[in-house]
A and B are shown apart, each in its own frame.
Chain A
């Protein structure tokens, strides 16, 4: 019996060592090929990185489902938002004429766009579903400026890897990898269902990331920063979500 136990012990030990070495090698490879999530460090790091890496490998260019007009929800749910601050209220009283989207970071031409500037870009339209991590969802038509248009106009430098976006709520910021930011369906939305984007739904300007859950589509966008590293934003976990316990990658 003791002999079997020893053999088992050695086998188990070797298997564990191989497993740990394999995981370490996989982690290094993941980092090298941009498959590691910025919040991939903690005890839930392996799952988060597997989710993100699987997406990078299998679905990089996949398009979110789009729906016919007839499927647009008659009762879209805006969800609750933090009460608007004074700056927002002041901008709102002027019909958001002074709303600005600042674009900076690793780009050739920093810019500050008004809503009218954004509307001068080619317009993107999509009928996609907003799915909340809680489980509920609705379909709407989103009209806006593809983020790729704004980034291309700004001249993204080759070393850029992420786009960080900020809102009027300093506690609500997030980021996308450069491929998701350049994805044709990623939109800076200023219209919804053939009207202006209503304030409860993020008006005057929200980002729409239809391949990820609702919390990635941050409302009231005021700034974009292109960067090669997320280390110096907040706690370095990629967005405000991991700081609140939620995953940075929200494609699942």
Chain B
């Protein structure tokens, strides 16, 4: 019974419906064709497409972002900051500019040209994919159904239960839906970190700041926006690392296949 194992809730319901439907109607329509029930996909097509666009965009943003930071690995708070001013902190790495005091005797090659081009192009891809995902997510009820914690799940007990299960390394029952910790994390990434990284990034653009000065002023100035952009990107990186580790734990090939093709391969579980 692979369907039962895969979809303990929705799958059972569907199988039951199909069974009862056929039983009812076959009495009146003895030649009625067998109802074919297609398994619901684990991920809708728009989720899969926007997921992979975001994946490649994130990778490009990460690499180009690191290259850009290397040209000035010092961070400040407030409106202004430069090598003649005291930084909030400095990342102890060499720089691609000889004007930055790093303590290293060498200067790395300048990679900012293509990094900046790639950073903004990938940002456009991520933002457009995010818009499609966000709009489709609301229209299809995806957020309410799949990501907002279920009634009664938002308690410390439920959260503790999820954590305890992970710590015991208990085998995941491969539920067709996300647990409360996953739901909270995904919601935080989609509705907090993603808007924040766009906001703090736009607040680094002198033209955007001319058009919407409040966006950077509220953050405490240009250098504060840059520092916040750096920290939000660290949180996003942390999410991606944990996300990949979790996917690996749940079965990397099968989960990745599900995000490409839509459904888990049933054979492996039957």
Binding site for B on A (CB under 8 A): 44, 46-48, 50-51, 55, 58-59, 62-65, 67, 71, 73, 75-77, 79-80, 129, 131-139, 210-213, 241, 244-247, 251-252
Contacts and interface: CB of A to CB of B under 8 A. Distances in A.
**Residue among A44, A50, A212, A252 with the highest chain B CB neighbour number at 10 A:** A252
A48 B117 contact: yes
A251 B80 CA distance: 18
A210 B206 contact: yes
Interface string B105-128: 000000011101110111110000
A176 to B, nearest CB: 12
B265 to A, nearest CB: 12
Contact of A135 (B85, B98, B226): B226
A65 B213 contact: yes
Secondary structure dominating the interface of A: loop
Contact of A47 (B74, B113, B120, B223): B120
Contacts of A136: 72, 74, 81-83
Interface residues of B, number: 40
Secondary structure dominating the interface of B: helix
A47 B71 contact: no
Contacts of A46: 121, 124
B114 A213 contact: no
Given A47-B120, A51-B120, A133-B116, A138 B80 contact: yes
Contact of A77 (B71, B83, B113): B83
A73 B84 CA distance: 10
B160 to A, nearest CB: 42
A84 B220 CA distance: 38
Given A55-B207, A59-B207, A251-B205, A67 B72 contact: no
Contact of B124 (A50, A212, A246): A50
Nearest to A241: B113
A243 to B, nearest CB: 10
B71 A135 contact: yes
10 contacts: A47-B118, A47-B120, A73-B85, A75-B85, A131-B204, A135-B68, A138-B82, A245-B114, A246-B116, A251-B205
Nearest to A50: B124
B206 A251 contact: yes
A47 B222 contact: no
A59 B116 contact: no
B117 A44 contact: yes
B22 interface: no
A1 to B, nearest CB: 10
